[in-house]
Amino acid sequence: MRMRSVPEQSRGEAETEAYIMSRRSGRLTLQARDSNTPEPTAKPQLKKRKSEALKKKLQPAAKKQSYEIQKCWRSSEEGPGPCVLIETPHKELEPSETTGFRQFTFKNLFIQPSPIPQLSWASCDDVWIKMLNKELKYIHDKSYLQKHPKVQPKMRAILLDWLLEVSEVYSLHRQTAYLAQDFFDRFMLTQDDMNKDYLQLVGITALFIAAKIEEIYPPKIFEFAYVTDGACDTWDIQKTELMILKALEWNLCPETPISWLKLYCQVEAQKDDENFLVPQFSQETYIQITQLLDLCLMDIGALDFSYSVLAAAAFCHFSSFDVVHRVSGLSWEAVSPCVRWMTPFMETLRSEPRPQLKSFLKVKPDDRHNIQTHVAYLDLLRKCQERQSDSLDGSLSPLPPKAVMLTPPSSAEKPANP
């Protein structure tokens, strides 16, 4: 059978006889199309259909979002409540464990506004809140000694004393030494039943990590291995470095007592027409307060207090509490326990010669106060703990032995170009 072609003259009739599909009342019907009637434009209908489809898509999403927010607020009864100031867009500011919130008292954290003056390069409130949030994120606790029966508080004191000595030998900054102390304590909190023979390796590796973070020109890894006098080699430090970074989950930016103290001193000495980033406080007074902090941190009892409170209590021994309250926003109820605990340490330092600023090679005079120094801290710690035992019936950590262990070689014994 042969198909017949439709001539051009009869195309209008063919269109008249054509049918189109239309949807009415949920049924498919047939409708005749008239060639004389103009075809309706489909653009307005498409726009209407698109807008209706968009509304249908948006409505369930809006309901889901409001439900999720409502669910989040309902779950605050079991976990931390919405009163905690956490900036959700910044993932690094969220605490790693929600249980850590229960270890702090929030009533003293957000009462006072930011003591930081107005800054041209950042919001003073944002800077202040970020510092407070780090107090919640980085948890330290002296109870980790219960997980390590072979480790005693005196071993930690000897190790920290040695790390301070190594820091002075290599002209490392105070922040570097304090970061190493924080890394060591937090790493030990994640481990179980560690042998005391590994403490030196963990300590020097923590200092190696801190130096790479804080120093512009950190010492090489073989220099850190050299000061251990053959006890650790570079391969041991590298393996331990990976283990520490994994255990700490790469959370390596805490606010140390030194950073809090520098903030307090700068706010107290700040003038309206001066740059806030330029130190304006007295270097002589600053190194006296840092010596008190060095001595206190060697005692395991310092881990009972947050770093901001430790710095505020040390600053309170060299100033009035009104000044401390103005620069820190902390109440006397929050600072007084640490001030009383720190009193024997301050009394011991008063009987010692006042520390003097030291000169270091390739260190500018206006940066000398930032370089970590070392004195006979173990002897001073013994005197402090004797005072504490007299006033508190010897309820503090054991006294370190008189023999100084883990001492690095002196600077004269080191090769000029190792």
pTM of the model: 0.69
Q: Are 182 and 398 in contact (CB under 8 A)?
A: no
Q: 41: which DSSP letter?
A: P
CA distances from 273 to 95, 107, 117, 118 (A): 37, 34, 11, 11
Asked whether 170 and 219 are in contact (CB, 8 A), the reply is yes
Phi then psi for residue 30, to 5 deg, are: -110, 140
pLDDT in tens, 10-28: 444 444 444 444 444 444 4
Diameter of the chain measured on Cα atoms: 123
Distance (Å, rounded) from C-alpha 183 to C-alpha 177? 10
More reliable by pLDDT, 54 or 236: 236
Q: What per-residue confidence (pLDDT) applies to 345?
A: 96
Q: How far apart are CA 318 and CA 293, in angstroms?
A: 12
Closest CA to 340 of 308, 321, 313: 313
Residue 296 to residues 188, 284, 302, 338, 349, Cα–Cα distance (Å) = 19, 19, 6, 10, 11
Kindly state which CATH superfamily the domain 142-358+367-407 is placed in: Cyclin-like (1.10.472.10)
Bigger pLDDT: 77 vs 266: 266
Which residues touch 374 (CB under 8 Å, ≥6 apart)?
161, 164, 165, 167, 168
Tell me: the pLDDT tens digits for 63-78?
Answer: 343 333 333 333 334 4
CA-CA distance, 208 to 202, in Å (whole number)? 10
Residue 261 pLDDT > 60: yes
Spans of all domains in the chain: 142-358+367-407
- For the chain, what percent of residues have pLDDT higher than 70? 67
CA torsion 232-237-238-244 (nearest 10°) is 150
